[in-house]
Structure 1
């Protein structure tokens, strides 16, 4: 029997999230306030007893000139993805509801892990001249049930998003991330798990007098200055400063610890800055920024170690470095970032990726072509 799906209040949504150990920061009600170009709505799945059994934040993006929407549930919704009746009980009511709201296509990101590679396995893969992509390297562990979830989605008519391709709207959330498990580990255990370079750099930063402090809304321009420099250096398009100010205001209003800002100072100069997000026992390193100056004092390792120890103090079960490249080619400028994250001693994690369901095939295809040509 399918569940009843309806819009719920932010308060109901937040109360449900508090009952879960881990929910993506993109599935909390305040995330909708960060995205003003989208209309946000909290959805609730109710069981036969009228109890809230699942929830999701859907973002609705209007198509120019017509009252039709792309419906997007980033890294969600929070439902029982491993249910044998996933399609009929959970997803069919969602598609019917969103179609009634004018959605022509639905994009979702199941928070389902498929494979994991240990830090050592990643290191070996990078060193192997024959390895081209992480996806082609044997995983350390395969998560049971992940392939069944993917198969259920395919049978229902969902298609995995290919970033930039005709089937996908654009590169969405990362399919590959790097995480350090904290559950049941002391700070000393976590420190021992860092590679030698990380431990050396943390000590070097301490000796050099690098001081990592927590900042607030007024420190966002200092963060942004470094972030803009980082964007130019690493060849990506930066988000504007108001995005981060809006993010701070929205997330901290919902929970004072939802978003934190850290700055690494040395001799009166800010050398690095980073934002940290927390939902339940999951902590993310969200955005990082640094200058090319004084790299020898290792502000990036210092700021990460402070964030990791603070995350541990908050009761984190996992510290999430977010996206990594799947490409192992030396020519890829993102490989250095993978090496840096792998040095923290955790594991590379592959999720099932994002999936599209075209409710109106013509509009879905038209938008896919438009996005691929941008």
Structure 2
């Protein structure tokens, strides 16, 4: 529907590699797996993307060689302009050049291996390369005390100012999209159309694991009026802050701080050991557009995690160069149109 066709890839212990456009794949003795998305480009070519994959033990050199060999052969046989991957391989922790910086040598070795094999660092980073995470394994009191003093003050201020919280329902989604659109116009970022978010939110709210929804919207209200909200995603012991939104009104009552604290408690209560605040700057200073958001997240007692980011394997250097030259201009045009459409949504709200 949105231009991408899914393929499902698995590698098994017996040395087999299987790719299918349906779900009929081996599920026993799997040692690696990937969702591979395909999209047509320039009419007769395709681009491929394995989001956050492949999933495997990246430190296992023989397995890594086997998987990358198969992916490169797959890209060539498919006539791909490129195949992009962006696994959660950690390169380091802490802000670079700070006293907290720690380098992960194993991750650095993976990066060197990719470059040696002809993979190039992508100019189009789909996911955030860096993120910040909160350790939820401690007690609630300890988690709260790890926050910066100003952040703890704002959490308590929101409570004193009468900000209340509730878990959202399907009937709230239309209102939440309008709030998200208002946020995007105010803060200058691009969002998709309402139908896209309705599909994503409904899908994950109805998807369950261990009897619990994979996603819950948490809504902050003042005098019964919604003023801010976040969507908390939960999967495999980790909570994710993916979408956040707020009204222009009542921001001085700090509802966003209380929402983040509520998300941590909710994720912890549902078995999550980590809360991923989903995104940090590439450059840790005021020159980066995410600096202000990062300072907010930093106050929540989070730690910086720096990952590999996206790498591309391009069988055809010519078409890869052509695509890399043309697509930024196409995307800029589409983003400009998207901003205008979002302004219309906010204006008609």
Which TM class, normalised by the smaller chain length? 0.7 to 0.9
TM (norm. structure 1) is 0.79
Matched, 1:113 2:67: no
Root-mean-square deviation (CA), in Å?
1.9
Between the aligned partners of 2:99 and 2:320, the Cα distance in structure 1 is: 35
Q: Count residues in correspondence.
A: 315
Between the aligned partners of 1:245 and 1:302, the Cα distance in structure 2 is: 25
**Contact 1:234/1:333 (8 A) holds in 2:** no
**Contact 1:193/1:344 (8 A) holds in 2:** yes
Unaligned runs of 5+ in 2: 17-28, 331-349
**Contact 2:227/2:250 (8 A) holds in 1:** yes
Structure 1 segments, 4+ long, off by >4 Å, are: 134-139
Matched, 1:54 2:32: yes
Q: 1:136 offset after TM fit, Å? A: 5.0
Matched, 1:161 2:122: yes
**Contact 1:262/1:275 (8 A) holds in 2:** yes
Between the aligned partners of 1:330 and 1:98, the Cα distance in structure 2 is: 39
Distance 1:135 1:326, change over 3 A: farther
Between the aligned partners of 2:143 and 2:309, the Cα distance in structure 1 is: 28
Between the aligned partners of 2:322 and 2:289, the Cα distance in structure 1 is: 32
37, 41, 44: which one aligns with 2:7: 41
Matched, 1:344 2:300: yes
Between the aligned partners of 1:263 and 1:237, the Cα distance in structure 2 is: 22
Q: Which residue of 1 aligns with 2:21?
A: none
Q: 1:332 offset after TM fit, Å? A: 5.0
Between the aligned partners of 2:115 and 2:311, the Cα distance in structure 1 is: 9
Distance 1:171 1:84, change over 3 A: closer
Between the aligned partners of 2:15 and 2:304, the Cα distance in structure 1 is: 40
Q: 1:60 offset after TM fit, Å? A: 0.6
Q: 1:58 offset after TM fit, Å? A: 0.9
**Contact 1:209/1:266 (8 A) holds in 2:** yes
**Contact 2:204/2:215 (8 A) holds in 1:** yes
SS of residue in 2 equivalent to 1:348? strand
Q: 1:280 offset after TM fit, Å? A: 0.8
Q: 1:104 offset after TM fit, Å? A: 2.8
Between the aligned partners of 1:48 and 1:42, the Cα distance in structure 2 is: 18
Any idea what the Cα deviations from partners look like across 1:24-50, whole Å, max 9, x if unmatched?
Answer: xxxxxxxxxxx7320012111111287
Q: Which residue of 2 aligns with 1:309?
A: 265
Between the aligned partners of 1:193 and 1:49, the Cα distance in structure 2 is: 46
SS of residue in 2 equivalent to 1:211? strand
Matched, 1:175 2:129: yes
